[in-house]
Structure 1
Amino acid sequence: MKDLIHNAVEICEKGNLRLHKISCNNSEVMLSLPESERATITQTDLEPCQKSFSPEKVLGIQWCIESDTFCFKLTLKDHPLTRRGILATVASIYDPLGLISPLVLVGKMILQRMCQDRSDWDDPLPDDLRPDWECWNAELLKLSEIKIPRCFIPDGLGQAVSVQLHHFSDASLSGYGQCSYVRLKTTDERVHCALVMAKARVAPLMPVTIPRLELQAATISAKVSKVLETEMGYKDMSHHFWMDSKVVLGYIKNDTKRLKIFVANRVQRIREVSQPTQWKYVPTTDNPADYATRGLTADEIAKSNWLTGPKFLWETEASPQTADIDLEIPPDDVEVKPTVVHIVQQMKFTSFTERMSRFSSYSKAVTAVAVIVECSLKKREKLFSKIQVRNLAETNLIRVIQQETFEDSIQNLQKRYTSSHRDDPLKNLDPFLDENGLLRVGGRLKRSAFLYGVKHPILLPKRNHFSTLVESHYHGRIGHQGRSMTINEIRNHGCWIVGCRSTVSSLIQNCVTCKKLRGRRVSQKMANLPEDRTEPSPPFTHCGLDCFGQFIVKEGRKELKRYGLIFTCLASRAVHIEDLDYMSTDSFINALRCLIAIRGKVLMIRCDQGTNFVGASHELKENLNKLNIDSIARKLLSQNCEFLFNTPSSSHMGGVWERQIRTIRNVSDGILIQNGTQLNTSALHTFLFETMAIINSRPLTVDDLEDPNGPLPLSPNNILTMKSGIVTPPPPGDFVREDIYARKRSPISGQSVLDKVGKRIFVQSSVKENLARYQRKYQSW
C-alpha cells in the first residue's frame, strides 16, 4: 500500500500535479506520508491504539475509515411539498450501486402516483400521499445506522478459490428489479456472500403484464452481469441467474416456438450475454430481488438478507430446495405467435382449356408448352432450334384447344373428309383439317399467292381464354390501337377467331392502357343544392361571401393596400361590394354591418375556409388566416345571422360567389382603361360601386335576348331597384393622358393596380381638361 501511494504521488509530480488529502484506514501508511499530504482527521495522535478517523466522502457516499464501511448520512434540503420538490428530494440520493434501492423505490412510487394523478409541477402534495411521504423522509434519516462493508473479502477469510456471481431478478405490479451477489469459497470450504450491485425501477404507468415485467428484470440482470464481469476483474468467475417466474424461464429456454417481438427481442439480448443453462428457478421466499420490487424501510434493510444474500448461498453447495418444475411454454400463451399452416392444394383441371386459364399472356402459355415439348424431344434425341420448338409448341397448343372446343366439327370432317355437316355452326367458313390436324378456314383463295396462313387462317373458338390471350397479344403489338387494326393484325398472323369483332370490342373496353390513353374522364357527381339556393327569398337574405384584391391606392406619397369584399345573393344572384381599408377583424365586421344597413336583414352567410379562397393571392390568404372568425360569428349571431363555413379543401362548393370575382375583374379592367388607373381611396370606392351596378344589370337568362317579341330579360337590378336599364353615372369620355404628377385629381382619375395584371399601369391625364370634358358631356346628356 505504501509503494502504491508513493508511486501515485511520483507519477502526478511528473505532470506538475499535487496528490494530497490522502486518506487510508491503515495508520502505518498514514504515518509514512507528510502531514501536509494527509486528509483532515479528528486526532493528531495516530498511534494504532488511539486512531480515530472522521467519515470521508467517496463519490457522494460516506466512508467510515475506522470501520472500513460505507454509510449514508443524508442531509435533506427543505424542498416544497410539490411534484417538483419531491423529484428534487428523490434525485438527491446518490446510490450508484443500488445498495439502498428498496428504500429509494418507495419515494419513486410516491412520485409516480403524483404523475398518475396528472399533478402539475407546482401543485401541492395530495393529502392521501402526505403520510407516506413523511414516513419515507423519516426512514431516510435512519440510513446512518446501516453499515455496509467496503471489502467483499473480510479479514481472516483466506484465499478464495471459487468466485461466483449470483444474479436474482423479480417483478411485481409496483416495480421490477434485480440484485447481484458475489459468493467466495476458500480452500477450507468457508463461504462468504456480499451484495455487489442492485437496481430497482417502478413499473410503467401503461398496463404491462407480469411476465413482461419479469422479462424486463431478467434483461437488466443480463446487462449487469456483463458490467460486473468487466469491472470486478476476477479470473474464472462464473455467473448464475435466478428468478421465480417459470413463464420467463420457459421463454429463455425455448427453441421451438416463435415469440412476439417484445419478448423475442429481450430473449435475444439475454442469450447474447448468457446461456439458457445458466438460468435457474428459485422460490419467491428465497428470492431477495423481491425486496427491490416492493420496497423496504431502513430497519428492514438492516434486519433482512438484502445485504448478505439468501440463506442457500451460504451453504457449501448453493442450490435451493425445489421440486421438479415444468418450463414448457403452454400453446395458448399470449406471447406465442399463432402457428400459420399453409395448405397447398393440388389443382385438378378437368380440361386443357381450364388449365390455360392459369396463364395471363399468350407468350407465357406458349413458353410453358415449349418447355414440355423440348423435354420430350430430348428424350427422343432429336435436335431442334428454339424457333422450331416454339412453332411446334404453338401447333400442339392450338390443336388441343380445337379438339376440346370444336370436337363435333372435327369428327364430322374426319367422317366426311371433304366438308362439314349441314348442322355444323362452322359450315359457312368451309372448314378443313390440314396436315398437322389443325382446323382451318376454307374458301376460294387456294390458288392465290398469299401466305398459307393468310389464305386459310386457323380457327379459334369464341369466348375462350386462349382466344382472349391471342387478341390481347396482337392488340399490344400494334400499340393498343382500335378494333379494326387489332382484327387486321390477328388475320395477318393467320388466326380466325369466331365472333372476333365483338370479343375485340370487349377487350378494348376493358383494357387498362386504352382507358389511360383514350378513356373519358370521370367527373364527380355534385350533391344536391342547399335549400337556401332553391327556395325564393328577399334579396340578400341568404348570401355568399368572398374576398378579392389586393388594390394599391395612393394617398399623397403613400401607397396603401386595399381589399374588396363581395356578397352574392344566393336567390337573385345580385352582388354587393364593399372595400376594406385593412384586412382586420374590425374592418371585416364593419363591412358586414354596412351590408345589413343597406340591404336589410341577413339570415345566413356562407363562406369558404380562409385557405381555400379561389384566385386569392398568397398575401390575401395569410391575412384571411389572421381574422378572428369566432368574433365575427358572435357579432353576426347577435343580429340573428348565421355564419357557415364550407367543408375544408372544397372551394368548388362556393362556385356561386367565386365566379363573380372574375366578373368584377373584367368590368374593373374596362372601367379603369376608360377612366385611368391612378386611384385613391375615394375613387376605388366609387369604381367598386359602379362595378356593382354593372354586374347587377346583367341578364339572368339569355333565352329571349334575340326575340323581338319577347319580354325584357330579368336582371338583379330589376329586383333590387324595381327599375329597368343599366344604372351608371354620366360617361366620363376620353381623358388626355398627361400630368401624371398632378396634385388634384377627380374621383374618376385616381391610381390603382390590380394584382391580376401583375403590373402597375400609370395613365397620364390633365385634371382641368378632364373636368371641362366632363361638364360638356354632362350638359349634353
Structure 2
Amino acid sequence: MSRVKEGIRQKKDGHYELPLQFKKDNPADLASKEASAAQLKDSCWLKGPDFLWQPNLSVKHIIVKVDDPDPELRKAHVHTVKAENTNPLISRHSKFSAWSRAVKAVARLKKCVRRRSGGQVWTDQTTNLKERRKAEFFIIKLTQEEAFADDIKKIKCNRAEKLGKRNKLYRLNAYLDANNILRVGGRLSQSALHHDVKHPAILPRKSHVSDLIVKYHHERVDHQGRGMTMNEIRANGIWILGCGSIVSSHIYKCVPCRRYRRTTEVQLNSPSRNSQMNDIVILKDECTPRNEWKLATVVEAQPGRDGMVCKLKLVLSETSVDKGKPHTRLINLERPIHKIVTLVEAN
C-alpha cells in the first residue's frame, strides 16, 4: 500500500492515476480506455487478475496511516447497536385490552402447562381465584424484570444504597419479597393493614400493564375522578410510579368520562321562522313510535302576544276500510306549537 501511495500522481484535470504495475491487475482500468476485442479476450477483464488464479493467496495485514488533508480520504460514521433479549410473554401483553382478560389468559396457560407436565389432573373447570391471583403476580413480576432489571440486581446483591438518591426506588425503600416481587418498604410494616396494602407492588409508568390496571380500576369505581381511581389502585396492592399523571391521562382519553364531564349545553334564544298556512308538519305522540307519527297540514296559525305562533289548527286525513272499500275523511285538530315538527315549509 505504501508503494501504491508513492506511485500515485495527479493529472492536470484533477484525477489520480495508478502506477503501471498495478494497472495490469485492475480490471476496471480497461473500462476507462479503448480496447479491441482481441485485447479484451486475453486481458483480466474476463478472467480477473492473475493472483486470483494462484493456489495459495498471500494475505498481508498492512496498517496504512493516512494523513488528514488527503483529498481521497472519506469520513465514515460507525454506529453501535445494542440488542436486548426480551421475554416473548411480555410482548404478548400488548395484545390484550383488558386487565381481567390478560390475567385469565395467563392463568389458563399456566394451568395447561401443569396438566401437560402431569402436575394436575385434567378437568373442565375454569380457573379459580387463587390461580388468577398467582397469574397477577406472574405478570407483575415479568413487567418489573423488564423495567427494573439493573435495580433488581443491585437489590439482590444487597447494594440498594447504590441506586442513587434521585432514583425513585431509593425513595420508596424498595425491597424484594419471598416471591422476588419488588415492593414498597417503609414504616407501614408495623401497622395492622394487609400485607399488599402495606407493601404494594411497584410498576413502571410507561408500561402496557400499568395502563390496563388503571383502566380496570377506573371502571370499577364507575368512572370517578383521579383521587378515587388512585385510591382504588393502591388499595389493591399496586404502586405505579407517577400514578397521578397516568390516571389523569387515562381519564382525559376515556370516552364515558368525556361524555359525563362535558359542559352543559345552552339553548340559544335565536328568532325562528313562524309556522304558516299550508306547512306540512308531523304530529308528536308520546304513546307511539316515531315512525308511526301522522302528517298534517296547517290551516290556521294563531300568534301570541309576542307575535310568535303558539297554537295551530291542522287538517289530517284518516283512511279506514269499510266492507272492503277504503273511505277517507278529514279531521280538524288544534295543537300547541311544541307538539308539532315542521317537515316541509310552504312557499
Q: TM-score, normalised by structure 1?
A: 0.24
The answer to whether residue 32 in structure 2 is matched with residue 393 in structure 1 is no
Which structure would you say has the larger Rg? Answer: 1
Which runs of 5 or more structure 1 residues have no equivalent in the other structure?
Answer: 1-347, 524-543, 550-582, 585-609, 625-660, 670-752, 759-781
Equivalent position of 2:304 in the other structure: 665
CA distance in 1, matches of 2:239, 2:170: 14
Q: 2:204 aligns with which of 461, 464, 484?
A: 461
- Using the TM superposition, give the Cα deviation of residue 447 of structure 1 relative to its aligned residue in structure 2, in angstroms: 1.0
CA distance in 2, matches of 1:398, 1:360: 16
Secondary structure of 1:496's counterpart equals strand
1:621-770 equivalent positions in 2, closer than 5 A? 665-667=304-306
Q: Conserved in 1, the CA contact under 8 Å of 2:204 and 2:240?
A: yes
- Which digits, 9 at most, give the CA deviation of each residue in 1:476-496, with x for residues without a partner? 112121111111100100000
Q: 1:497 aligns with which of 227, 240, 265?
A: 240
Q: 2:119 aligns with which of 364, 381, 384?
A: 381
Equivalent position of 2:59 in the other structure: none
The answer to whether residue 210 in structure 2 is matched with residue 446 in structure 1 is no
Q: 2:103 aligns with which of 362, 366, 374?
A: 366
Secondary structure of 1:430's counterpart equals coil
Equivalent position of 1:150 in the other structure: none
1:217-256 equivalent positions in 2, closer than 5 A? none
- Using the TM superposition, give the Cα deviation of residue 457 of structure 1 relative to its aligned residue in structure 2, in angstroms: 0.4
Equivalent position of 2:158 in the other structure: 416
Equivalent position of 2:146 in the other structure: 404
The answer to whether residue 230 in structure 2 is matched with residue 487 in structure 1 is yes
1:354 is aligned with what amino acid?
S
The 3 A distance-change label for structure 1 pair 463 and 612 is farther
Q: Conserved in 2, the CA contact under 8 Å of 1:467 and 1:497?
A: yes
The 3 A distance-change label for structure 1 pair 374 and 665 is same
Q: 2:215 aligns with which of 457, 464, 472?
A: 472
CA distance in 2, matches of 1:754, 1:511: 44
- Which digits, 9 at most, give the CA deviation of each residue in 1:552-591, with x for residues without a partner? xxxxxxxxxxxxxxxxxxxxxxxxxxxxxxx58xxxxxxx
CA distance in 2, matches of 1:413, 1:375: 33
- Using the TM superposition, give the Cα deviation of residue 374 of structure 1 relative to its aligned residue in structure 2, in angstroms: 1.1
Q: Conserved in 1, the CA contact under 8 Å of 2:281 and 2:297?
A: no
Q: Conserved in 1, the CA contact under 8 Å of 2:86 and 2:146?
A: no
- Using the TM superposition, give the Cα deviation of residue 370 of structure 1 relative to its aligned residue in structure 2, in angstroms: 0.8
1:238-637 equivalent positions in 2, closer than 5 A? 351-378=88-115, 379-382=117-120, 386-416=128-158, 419=161, 421-422=163-164, 424-520=167-263, 546-548=273-275, 583=277, 618-620=296-298
The 3 A distance-change label for structure 1 pair 406 and 522 is farther
CA distance in 2, matches of 1:419, 1:374: 39
CA distance in 1, matches of 2:272, 2:221: 55
- Which digits, 9 at most, give the CA deviation of each residue in 1:354-382, with x for residues without a partner? 32110111111111111221123232525
Q: Conserved in 1, the CA contact under 8 Å of 2:175 and 2:185?
A: yes
CA distance in 1, matches of 2:253, 2:151: 32
Q: Conserved in 2, the CA contact under 8 Å of 1:413 and 1:420?
A: no
Q: Conserved in 2, the CA contact under 8 Å of 1:420 and 1:431?
A: no
CA distance in 2, matches of 1:464, 1:445: 27
Q: Conserved in 1, the CA contact under 8 Å of 2:280 and 2:296?
A: no
Percent sequence identity over aligned pairs = 34
- Using the TM superposition, give the Cα deviation of residue 389 of structure 1 relative to its aligned residue in structure 2, in angstroms: 1.9
2:92 is aligned with what amino acid?
R
- Using the TM superposition, give the Cα deviation of residue 443 of structure 1 relative to its aligned residue in structure 2, in angstroms: 1.2
1:110-121 equivalent positions in 2, closer than 5 A? none
- Using the TM superposition, give the Cα deviation of residue 455 of structure 1 relative to its aligned residue in structure 2, in angstroms: 0.6
Q: Conserved in 2, the CA contact under 8 Å of 1:441 and 1:457?
A: yes
CA distance in 2, matches of 1:432, 1:373: 26
2:245 is aligned with what amino acid?
S
Secondary structure of 1:479's counterpart equals coil
Q: TM-score, normalised by structure 2?
A: 0.51
Equivalent position of 1:14 in the other structure: none
Q: Conserved in 2, the CA contact under 8 Å of 1:419 and 1:431?
A: no
Equivalent position of 1:22 in the other structure: none
Q: Conserved in 1, the CA contact under 8 Å of 2:281 and 2:296?
A: no
Which runs of 5 or more structure 2 residues have no equivalent in the other structure?
Answer: 1-84, 283-294, 309-333, 340-347
* More RCO (CA 8 Å, sep 6+): 2
CA distance in 2, matches of 1:387, 1:510: 31
Secondary structure of 2:239's counterpart equals strand
The 3 A distance-change label for structure 1 pair 612 and 390 is same
1:619 is aligned with what amino acid?
T
| Runs of 4+ residues deviating >4 angstroms | 348-351, 382-385, 417-420, 544-549, 610-613, 753-758
CA distance in 2, matches of 1:357, 1:406: 19
1:356 is aligned with what amino acid?
H
CA distance in 1, matches of 2:110, 2:296: 70
Equivalent position of 1:202 in the other structure: none
Q: Conserved in 2, the CA contact under 8 Å of 1:440 and 1:459?
A: yes
